[in-house]
Structure 1
Amino acid sequence: MSKILYLHGFASCGEGNKSRVLGAYFGNENLLAPNLPFAPQEAIETLSTQILGEKPSLLVGSSLGGYYATYLAEKFDIPAVLINPSCKPWETLANYVGWQERFCDAERFEFKQVYLHQLERFSSPPQSSRYLVLLQSEDEVLDYRVAKEQYKEYRVIVEYGGNHRFENIHEYLSMIESFMKS
């Protein structure tokens, strides 16, 4: 089986609910789910090195990880599944400049103003790669309609209800598997 590279969201970790569910379904040995650096430039460099070392057959990105996945999908021509992706994180994360805690382990980190500028530099509209976009309309963090519009040329699934965490990802595993094989 081919490798899947999972990219977590802001203030999250590689070891979370979505990565556990993906690992259980596809096999933990087939899932790469690193803890990403807080600085976007470092995150992209880390992920690019990972991809150059062992190119995955699929990227799965959630929230900020969906934003990173779009940039990397375009750069390395890798299909991507985006879960409630952030489309303009330099705007949506502006209120988070300062000290934050990761959700998974309460590690404190500083989210710096310069990171917003770094994020904007990685804006990469979807053009050449393949995307499956999973959205939930009751996302309390991001307006799902922004992603629905940005990825309208691709396969977009909107589930009415839900939340930003997309807690029922297990219901979409066979769809993700079909997308990966197509």
Structure 2
Amino acid sequence: MILYLHGFRSSPKSHKATLLAGALRERGLEGEWIAPQLPASPRRAIELADYLIEQARTTRGMEPGRDLAIMGSSLGGYYATCLAERWKCRAIVLNPVVYAARDLATQVGEHTMYHSDDPFVFLPEYVDELAEMAVGRPAHPERYYLLAAKGDEVLDWREMADWFSGCQGRILEGGDHGLSDFEQWLPEVLAFALPAS
């Protein structure tokens, strides 16, 4: 199962999530992925992800260490790292936030969502929630795949490369924060994400 976690102010309608859904549908695996709309509260976002994982364990017999890959973009990459350390599963991080409390402190306030006109309010206490859930560098780098673009206009790719040193993946020349060329890397990402069975 792939659990896809979108980025800040994004949604399951993002370009990457849509491409992923299509690729899995083509492989007959549309039932093997979940892409929830995450709440603004980081604590609640993690609680939702934990609930979905636990539900898959209970109803489908999914074993996280064997059957689960968590894919996260930007802030979702930070969440994916926190969850992968807890559940001891594979994680694919796409231009991930590394220092979430620092980077998201500048985003406190009211915004709109990227894929709708819905308001998105990021409260000061959410920065504290990000700090509280922080984990160290990956304990098992072999369980991680990093896709980071040097052309990321939002985050510093060098921090990503340093934090995820020893992990599989690619550092892309150029590119952008949204990974607009994600389709090119999707087969490689899915090869890492899907169980070998």
User: Under a length normalisation based on structure 1, what TM-score does the superposition of the two structures give?
Assistant: 0.94
Match of 2:140 among 123, 128, 133: 128
Asked if the contact 1:6–1:32 (Cα under 8 Å) also holds between the matched residues in 2, the reply is yes
Q: For structure 1, which runs of at least 5 residues remain unmatched after alignment? A: none
Asked if the contact 1:15–1:33 (Cα under 8 Å) also holds between the matched residues in 2, the reply is no
Matched residue, 2:59: none
Q: For structure 2, which runs of at least 5 residues remain unmatched after alignment? A: 57-61
Describe how 1:73-112 pairs up with structure 2 within 5 A. Answer: 73-112=84-123
For 2:45, what is the secondary structure of its paired residue?
Answer: helix
- For 1:164, the aligned partner's letter is H
Matched residue, 1:173: 186
Asked if the contact 1:18–1:169 (Cα under 8 Å) also holds between the matched residues in 2, the reply is yes
Matched residue, 2:153: 140
Shift of 1:58: 1.1
RMSD (Å), alpha carbons? 1.3
Shift of 1:156: 3.5
Matched residue, 1:33: 35
Give, in whole Å, the separation in 2 of the partners of 1:91 and 1:172: 29
The ranges of structure 1 where at least 4 consecutive aligned residues each deviate by more than 4 angstroms after the TM superposition are none
Matched residue, 2:47: 45
Shift of 1:153: 1.8
Q: How many residues align?
A: 180
Give, in whole Å, the separation in 2 of the partners of 1:40 and 1:62: 14
For 2:44, what is the secondary structure of its paired residue?
Answer: helix
Matched residue, 2:13: 15
- For 1:98, the aligned partner's letter is G
Query: Percent of pairs identical after alignment?
Result: 32
For 2:121, what is the secondary structure of its paired residue?
Answer: strand
> 1:150 and 2:152 equivalent?
no
